[in-house]
Structure 1
Amino acid sequence: MSDPIRHECGIAVVRLKKPLAYYQDKYGTALYGLERLFGLMAKQRNRGQDGIGIGCCKLDMPPGAPYMFRVRSTKSAEAIGEVLADEMKEFGRIARRVNAERKERRDESGLEYTKFEDDPEAIKREFELAGEVNMGHLRYGTSGAFGKGSLHPYIRRSTWPTRSLMVMGNFNLTNSGELNKIMMKRGQHPVFDTDTQTVLEEIGFQLDEAHTDLYHTMRDSGVPLEDITRHISEQLDVAHIIRKSAELWDGGYTIAGTIGNGDFFIMRDPLGIRPCHMYEDDEVVAFASERVALMTVFEVDENDVQELAPGHVCVIKSSGAITTTAFAPQAEPLRPCSFERIYFSRSNDSVIYRQRKALGEQMVPQLIEAIGNDWEHTVTSFIPNTAETAYHGFLDGLRYRRRQEVKDAIVEMVHSGTFDENKLDDLVLRNWPRSEKIAHKDIKMRTFIAQESGRDQLVSSVYDITYGVVTPNDNLVVIDDSIVRGTTLKKSLLRILARTNPRRIIVCSTAPQIRYPDCYGIDMSELGKFIAFQAAIALLDEHGLRHVVKETYDACKAEVNKPKSEMRNAVKAIYAPFSDAQISAKVSQLVYPQHTAWQGDIHVIFQSIDGLHKALGPDYGDWYFSGDYPTPGGFYTVNRAFMNFFEGKGGRSYDTLL
């Protein structure tokens, strides 16, 4: 993805099934859970560049001893190893202090002592991140601030463990403002910060209600006061709390949390928009946003890792009992985020790898038409590096098509009696797809996390080209995984590629035209920044249809005042007068690089929505391409986004404020 967008966060959870002493004896460390947690986070570091957070909850701590801890860092996920090193330095400082104290007592008493590093009970007591429930979060912010205070997990503390709560997630709620209003009607005073705060407070409210009901019931029935806490912990129905909390939520989410008594939960939205994978054995239960992270860290096969079913919550009680139940009806059909497959998730998952290759293969017919089947004068490549897997699928499709052409020609020569070995050599060796490595990323830098103001120069510095493989008579074809705003394509990448001096540059996006905002996790909500939208507006002007813009604005205003269940996407009217090919042609004009001596042509080709579903499957979400949103909040967002564009307002169109 050449454009700088923020997207889904990453989660990691390791819940130990056995006491820390077990892992000390078997693996030589009581920090087995923490080490595996960092492993899962490192394998998902592609999912968060704003910062990372770690949460820990300790089971069966005595009264007066702390049991819930959190560490957050604004270091990027690329620096996970540094964060772990910092924590291990703290562990070392504690070890030196405790060992010195024990040595002093030994010198006085003459008795031997156990080193802190070999004492699981002391480690759990003294080191904050030594516990049975380990939670990790990698953040890409889509709402709220981007400082340390906005990093997950969020904590809500109480003197009652069964009312203390720690929450993290990969999610966006479209109706946080509505939920805040409900809290205010209860008499609460919510903080209008992020939807994470909204989730924390709603679950916390339902937790308080359940706790209070249990407390009064037990107290009134004569349960001794000193036993009430234990009984509440045993009887707390976490699944019911989640069911009540999520009744009005609209959005895509995977949310994990732990209650202070050690009860843990993780839930996934009914549409399956956000991913969640689970691994369990005799020693741990672990969760992650990406399947391959669990496979690699725990050295297991893909069949050993399961998906958490959409609309379900998995609860692990402090006792270790595990249940998975529905908290909402599972939607039909499901709508998992297609961008997980196109770009966000790592491609070493076997399913995602095949899907990305299929996305590239689907581009072949359009490209053959664009170049007139002239492979003798065409060089193919890819940019950026995330498009490489799709590029291999693209090449597979080209080779298959070319082999079929050669086969058909040979069969025709045989049947017609005109077989000629010289013609055969010419047929096979000429007009064959040429694959070259054109763009090189010679600085290890994640350019999409840079501030947009200085990003163009940064990209120009990061990428370099291979000289001498493209001639002025060649088409240069590059595969890109998606094109959102087109800014980087125009100001940086195409300028770089133009230095190869081809006759024409053809950019093939394996994602369809991004026409509409997302509100379920991806930071794509400002319509005016989408290159496809800019193309449609330009075409309306050229065709004397500017009145459609005002009519659409009026229609959007009418839509947002309807009940959400009755809303429709009024913004479709902007694209309705034009074909996909017309939009693509205008995009090609809009991204043409300025201030360059190159005089060649630019042709941008987009994946079709039909091709997307042939590659991924029919149920994958396509609302950013089609405008067909799976929840009412999506229709509110798209209409509100167009109103913001028309009124000249920037910022996100999510319903996060009153």
Structure 2
Amino acid sequence: AEGKNAVAEIFANVHKHYKNLSQEQLSDVSFAKTNLPFAGDLYMGHLRYSTTGKSGLSYVHPFLRRNNWKAKNLCMCGNFNMTNIGDVFEILTEQGQCPRIYSDTNILLELMGHRLDREVERNFVDAQKLGLEKRAITNYIEENVQMSNVLKTTMQHFDGGYVICGLTGSGEMFSIRDPWSIRPAFYYKNDEIVVLASERPVLQTTFDLECDDIQELKPGQALIVNKRGECSLQQILEPKQNAACSFERIYFSRGSDRDIYKERETLGRQLTEPVLKAVDYDTEHTVLSYIPNTAEVAFYGL
């Protein structure tokens, strides 16, 4: 789907598969898994603002690296801008790869996919040493893949701001934040769900949560969920000096976040005296407004 009605078209396509089902059927997990094409245990999606000057379906996240072996399949999306793609491209070519597309997304996918392949092969050797054969080896690999190994050997090569999410064909899911805290990431977990998003209000609204119920993913930290649903926080990269992107705070983020609201309101209040001086205190002949919509809270502070 493309164009201004893309979201409506996508949801209409999804809804047609279950709009005639009863509430009892929709509440039945076993029925949903068997009968609904979009029902599952893992969900991942991302709307990335185009920073390349290009658009089209080929730039839509998530990206998929396919393989006949389930454990080697990798799906990935993220909020990122990598600044050393040339260096990472050289690493790939030195290993014998010939990436078909020169972009941060594809280079990241190929390098992480390569490291995932190595992790699978490591487990393959271990399984053989244990005397396992055929499908037993496959099952062993899927049970013992360590995504922390993949992330450590992949992300050490990248420089930039990012929050990256991914999942594998064998059922592991992960997210990692850059060590400078440039990009924001928040998560919530309980006995039933683990969910992560770039903004806290999304989680609050969707799951009816209080602000303090939600945690911030720390710099260089990864949130990893294995195929058994076991969740862990692992430090993948050493945290660096905080360099959070100011644009995330003053422009991108939703004003309904508690901290964002207070910050923008304060920013607007601090503009009061400069604005009054600019109009020579002639408020009767001054019209005040705000552009864009994310400046609304600052406008109220002013």
Common fold by TM > 0.5:
yes
Within the candidate set 172, 175, 180, 2:81 is matched to 172
Q: Give the counterpart letter for 1:179 in structure 2.
A: V
Residue in 2 that maps onto 1:80:
7
**d(CA) in 2 for partners of 1:280, 1:117:** 23
Residue in 2 that maps onto 1:70:
none
* 1:197 aligned onto 2:124: no
Using the aligned pairs only, state the percent identity. Answer: 34
Q: Is the 8 A contact 1:267 1:311 kept in 2?
A: yes
TM-score (norm: length of structure 1): 0.43
Q: Give the counterpart letter for 1:339 in structure 2.
A: F
Within the candidate set 287, 297, 300, 1:389 is matched to 297
**d(CA) in 1 for partners of 2:87, 2:223:** 27
Within the candidate set 206, 227, 231, 1:297 is matched to 206
> Could you say if the C-alpha distance between residues 155 and 350 of structure 1 is closer, same or farther in structure 2, counting changes exceeding 3 Å?
same
* 1:208 aligned onto 2:208: no
> Could you say if the C-alpha distance between residues 326 and 147 of structure 1 is closer, same or farther in structure 2, counting changes exceeding 3 Å?
same
Q: Is the 8 A contact 1:167 1:257 kept in 2?
A: yes
- Give per-residue Cα distances to partners, 1:16-55, cap 9 Å, x unaligned: xxxxxxxxxxxxxxxxxxxxxxxxxxxxxxxxxxxxxxxx
How far is the alpha carbon of 1:365 from its aligned partner?
3.1
- Give per-residue Cα distances to partners, 1:518-540, cap 9 Å, x unaligned: xxxxxxxxxxxxxxxxxxxxxxx
* 1:338 aligned onto 2:246: yes
Residue in 1 that maps onto 2:155:
246
Residue in 1 that maps onto 2:142:
233
SS in 2 for 1:283: coil
> Could you say if the C-alpha distance between residues 75 and 135 of structure 1 is closer, same or farther in structure 2, counting changes exceeding 3 Å?
farther
TM-score (norm: length of structure 2): 0.91
Q: Give the counterpart letter for 2:143 in structure 1.
A: E
Q: Give the counterpart letter for 1:74 in structure 2.
A: E
**d(CA) in 2 for partners of 1:305, 1:116:** 31
How far is the alpha carbon of 1:385 from its aligned partner?
4.7
Residue in 1 that maps onto 2:260:
352
Residue in 2 that maps onto 1:265:
174
Q: Give the counterpart letter for 1:299 in structure 2.
A: D
SS in 1 for 2:243: coil
> Could you say if the C-alpha distance between residues 209 and 362 of structure 1 is closer, same or farther in structure 2, counting changes exceeding 3 Å?
same
Alignment of 1:482-561 (within 5 A): none
Q: Is the 8 A contact 1:143 1:194 kept in 2?
A: no
Q: Is the 8 A contact 2:224 2:231 kept in 1?
A: yes
The two structures, once aligned, show a CA RMSD in angstroms of 2.2
**d(CA) in 2 for partners of 1:116, 1:303:** 34
Q: Give the counterpart letter for 1:178 in structure 2.
A: D
Alignment of 1:10-29 (within 5 A): none
How far is the alpha carbon of 1:192 from its aligned partner?
2.4
Q: Give the counterpart letter for 2:37 in structure 1.
A: E
Q: Give the counterpart letter for 1:338 in structure 2.
A: S
The runs of 5 or more residues in structure 2 that have no matched partner are none
Q: Give the counterpart letter for 2:89 in structure 1.
A: N
Residue in 1 that maps onto 2:47:
138
SS in 2 for 1:139: coil
> Could you say if the C-alpha distance between residues 375 and 240 of structure 1 is closer, same or farther in structure 2, counting changes exceeding 3 Å?
same
SS in 2 for 1:254: strand
Q: Is the 8 A contact 1:144 1:194 kept in 2?
A: no
**d(CA) in 1 for partners of 2:174, 2:141:** 17
Residue in 2 that maps onto 1:183:
92
- Give per-residue Cα distances to partners, 1:136-163, cap 9 Å, x unaligned: 2112111274111210100111121110
The runs of 5 or more residues in structure 1 that have no matched partner are 1-72, 96-114, 395-658
* 1:370 aligned onto 2:278: yes
The structure number with the bigger radius of gyration is 1
- Give per-residue Cα distances to partners, 1:369-406, cap 9 Å, x unaligned: 3344x345542411325222111111xxxxxxxxxxxx
Q: Is the 8 A contact 1:219 1:225 kept in 2?
A: no
**d(CA) in 1 for partners of 2:66, 2:163:** 22
- Give per-residue Cα distances to partners, 1:567-586, cap 9 Å, x unaligned: xxxxxxxxxxxxxxxxxxxx
Q: Is the 8 A contact 1:144 1:150 kept in 2?
A: no
Q: Give the counterpart letter for 1:367 in structure 2.
A: V
SS in 2 for 1:267: strand
**d(CA) in 2 for partners of 1:377, 1:120:** 62
Q: Give the counterpart letter for 1:361 in structure 2.
A: R
Residue in 1 that maps onto 2:72:
163
> Could you say if the C-alpha distance between residues 86 and 265 of structure 1 is closer, same or farther in structure 2, counting changes exceeding 3 Å?
same
SS in 2 for 1:212: helix
Q: Give the counterpart letter for 2:119 in structure 1.
A: A
Q: Give the counterpart letter for 1:343 in structure 2.
A: Y
> Could you say if the C-alpha distance between residues 364 and 86 of structure 1 is closer, same or farther in structure 2, counting changes exceeding 3 Å?
same
**d(CA) in 2 for partners of 1:143, 1:209:** 31
SS in 2 for 1:300: coil
How far is the alpha carbon of 1:217 from its aligned partner?
2.3
How far is the alpha carbon of 1:210 from its aligned partner?
0.8
SS in 2 for 1:324: strand
Q: Give the counterpart letter for 1:88 in structure 2.
A: H
Give the aligned length.
299
Q: Give the counterpart letter for 1:146 in structure 2.
A: S
How far is the alpha carbon of 1:285 from its aligned partner?
0.9
- Of the two structures, which has the highest relative contact order with CA contacts closer than 8 Å and spacing of 6 or more? 1
- Give per-residue Cα distances to partners, 1:488-544, cap 9 Å, x unaligned: xxxxxxxxxxxxxxxxxxxxxxxxxxxxxxxxxxxxxxxxxxxxxxxxxxxxxxxxx
